[in-house]
Amino acid sequence: MSNITKKAFPVLNMHCAGCANNVEKTVKKLAGVVDASVNFATNTLSVSYEADKLTPGEIRAAVLAAGYDLIVEEALKEERQEEAQEKHYRLLKRQVIGAWIFVVPMLLFSMVLMHVPFSNEIQLILALPVMIFFGGSFYVNAWRQARLGRSNMDTLVALSTSIAFLFSVFNTFFPEFWYSRGLEPHVYYEAAVVIIAFVLTGKLMEERAKGNTSTAIRKLMGLQPRVARVLREGIEEDILIDQLQTGDLVVVRPGEQIPVDGRLSEGESYVDESMISGEPIPVEKKVGDRVLAGTINQKGAFVIKASGVGSETVLARIIRMVQEAQGSKAPVQRIVDRVTGIFVPVVLCIAVLTFVIWLLVGGTDYFSHALLSAVSVLVIACPCALGLATPTALMVGIGKAASNHILIKDAVALEQMRKVDVVVLDKTGTLTEGHPTVSGWLWAQVQEEHFKNVLLAAELKSEHPLAGAIVSSLQEVEKIVPAQLESFESITGKGIKVVYQGDTYWVGSHKLLKDFSASLSDVLAEMMVQYESDGNSIVYFGRGTEVLAVVGQRTALAVSGKLGIDRFVADALPDDKEEFVRELQMQGKTVAMVGDGINDSQALALADVSIAMGKGTDIAMDVAMVTLMTSDLLLLPRAFELSKQTVKLIHQNLFWAFIYNLIGIPIAAGILFPVNGLLLNPMLASAAMAFSSVSVVLNSLSLARK
């Protein structure tokens, strides 16, 4: 397959969940698009596409044709989105204030002064500014969608207010049509303008609440300095952060944020890395040590040689990871998307059916009832509440996790973690620091002078973490010099073998001992019993079929005993770890795998929830759904609890959104009229609609306070 590129683009001019669905459908139809997802809560399009078939400019052109817009330029993308959102918020605020200025006197004429001369004409004049200037965007957007054969929330608002307004205009200028039939020509200008005022007010409150859900992202972005001090030809120069290049020498003074990833080339200091590691104690930095963008220099000044700038810094990758996670969709959201995709057409059908049934039941006498009920159905229906139910909760949940140094890459993980009933943990680097020490030596026979030299030379070539302990013991403590080996071979999962002066030596696990058909003497076997009972692992060193020595180190048994872990698997290869996870899944368990190394990647990929340690390998973090940025495993229960809270919140939001529509639409249609004469006024319907979407967002925000 061609080169697949995944990017996230801010989307402009979306007004409801229907808009998000329209943008998503538009992009998915483009040739070269593998997948596309739009998050209405974050106003973000996440798209995977074939870079040789499609460009961001072409994606934007398609979105523009659909009546929306994208920010595709990478430079200051987040700032531009925030600026656009702030501009939209200010526009909404002006529209709301302007609309209510005309609505208040309109209500006075419709309820108190309805019998004064030219009352209907005055109401018409008051309604026009609201319809044209403050609510005009509803009609423009609805027309754009209609031309494309689509519909959204604007469609419902435009239809309902247009029907009420045009009917009122007809009754204003042609009242005789109804008088001749013995009916009163009522006008509903107030309903049209109040609907617009309430919907605009709801959107304003919704926008403000949505802004609060992205607090985590804004805090992370606030950690990025805007300006860097660069040393060029011995002269310090302040430049914008996006002008930095790899290899630049960057000067950082005490108290300043570090603008790039790199290594110290001059000076020394202590750096506060708590934003990355969660550790409150500043870390000492000397020449050659690595520093990260966004961390804070504490004491001395130093010069950094930049190795990661702009989007390539660790902080930028964290921000990108959180944004992508907030834009991803939980499994339950896919069901909601299908519902919202057909929501508006279904509501339109219900409104028409409501109108027809009223006329069939009551004839022309019930024409006003039929019209008002149809308008109320159009107004009270709220796809926004459904569209916001899941993404707003996910945004808050993932943002809260990020503030606790838990990076969630995929919303699926956030939903799945609550189901986990088995946690599988890698030992070295996860449960332990990964820096073992030699606890003792058992020599099977009198040592020959070169034995330790050969062992040291062999372990120096080994990449196994346990080899470091033997190297440290021989080289640093005993000052042994490595021998000159004739050959070296690594045996995956077992150990290594080398050739020295024509003899084959080996060092490794019990599996390697068996491969060489070596056996332990009775004396050595008895001595090993005590080693194992003290919680030591065993590394064997041999020559041919002879066991020369046994080296004691800590075992999985010892670690598991200290931590209260019931079941462990020692000396597990990557395939063994994968098979262990698969075995648990076949037993019906939902498995979370926690690891830090390349050897864990198979098991991480297979697990239902994969969790990587932040200090582990890049491969492990790429594979994992969740990354713990610190070495503190106590973050795990926090992550699981946060998953439960977030999913509970999603279910609450969906319940109220569905219940609202299931109850509200039939009441608006007039189902209670035969029982108690209740007929819902369109103005009340619009207020209820505005409240429903705002309440969903506010409920999501409650998670941030827990």
Higher pLDDT, 45 or 1: 45
List CB contacts of 18: < 8 A, sequence separation 6 or more: 150, 151, 152, 153, 155, 340, 341, 343, 344, 383, 387
Note the pLDDT of residue 120.
84
Q: How far is CA 174 from the centre of its chain?
A: 57
Rounded Cα–Cα distance for residues 462 and 268 (Å): 33
Higher pLDDT, 89 or 225: 89
Note the pLDDT of residue 526.
73
pLDDT digits (tens, 9 = 90+) for 568-614: 555 555 667 778 888 888 888 888 888 765 566 667 777 888 887 76
| The token pair that represents 368 in the structure block | 């006003």
Q: How far is CA 539 from the centre of its chain?
A: 44
Contact 382/15 with Cβ under 8 angstroms?
Answer: no
Of 349-353, 402-406, 465-469, where does mean pLDDT reach its minimum?
465-469
User: What amino acid positions are annotated as catalytic residues?
Assistant: 426
Of 17-26, 212-221, 302-311, 456-465, where does mean pLDDT reach its minimum?
212-221
Higher pLDDT, 644 or 379: 644
| Cα three-residue angle 480-483-488, rounded to 5 degrees | 125
Rounded Cα–Cα distance for residues 669 and 373 (Å): 5
| The token pair that represents 319 in the structure block | 């921000």
- The helix (run of H) or strand (run of E) holding residue 681 is none
475-479 long-range contacts, Cβ below 8 Å, gap at least 24?
478/452
Note the pLDDT of residue 41.
67
Phi, psi angles (nearest 5°) of residue 392 = -65, -40
Q: Which of 148-162, 499-513, 608-622 has the highest mean pLDDT?
A: 499-513
Higher pLDDT, 622 or 603: 603
Contact 244/228 with Cβ under 8 angstroms?
Answer: yes
- Buried/exposed code over 652-679 (b: 16+ C-beta within 10 A; e: otherwise): bbbebbeebbeebbebbbbeebeeeeeb
Of 94-108, 294-308, 454-468, 497-511, where does mean pLDDT reach its minimum?
454-468
Of 76-80, 209-213, 393-397, 439-443, where does mean pLDDT reach its minimum?
209-213
Mean pLDDT over 177-197 rounds to 75
Note the pLDDT of residue 567.
59
List CB contacts of 632: < 8 A, sequence separation 6 or more: 278, 405
**Local structure of 568: helix, strand or coil:** coil
| The token pair that represents 673 in the structure block | 């009229």
pLDDT digits (tens, 9 = 90+) for 274-320: 666 555 567 788 888 888 888 888 878 889 998 888 767 777 776 66
Higher pLDDT, 413 or 622: 413
Note the pLDDT of residue 563.
47
Rounded Cα–Cα distance for residues 581 and 695 (Å): 42
Higher pLDDT, 172 or 317: 172
pLDDT(128) > 90: yes
Mean pLDDT over 377-401 rounds to 75
Higher pLDDT, 276 or 376: 376
Note the pLDDT of residue 5.
84
Rounded Cα–Cα distance for residues 9 and 77 (Å): 8
- The DSSP secondary structure of 379-419, one letter per residue, reads HH--HHHHHHHHHHHHHHHHHHHHHTTEEE--HHHHHHGGG
Note the pLDDT of residue 383.
63
Question: Given pLDDT bands bounded at 50, 70 and 90, which one contains residue 558?
Answer: very low
| The token pair that represents 620 in the structure block | 């492990």
pTM of the full predicted structure?
0.55
Note the pLDDT of residue 505.
92
Determine what percent of the chain is predicted with pLDDT higher than 90: 6
Mean pLDDT over 252-260 rounds to 87
Tell me which residue of 705, 660, 643 sits closest to 330, measured CA to CA: 643
pLDDT(97) > 90: yes
Distance set, CA 126 to CA 99, 110, 159, 204 (Å): 10, 11, 20, 22
pLDDT digits (tens, 9 = 90+) for 654-694: 888 788 778 888 888 888 877 777 777 666 776 776 677 67
Average confidence score pLDDT of the chain: 78
Higher pLDDT, 564 or 121: 121
Determine what percent of the chain is predicted with pLDDT higher than 70: 77
Question: Given pLDDT bands bounded at 50, 70 and 90, which one contains residue 493?
Answer: low
Q: Which of 246-250, 334-338, 520-524 has the highest mean pLDDT?
A: 246-250
Question: Given pLDDT bands bounded at 50, 70 and 90, which one contains residue 408?
Answer: confident
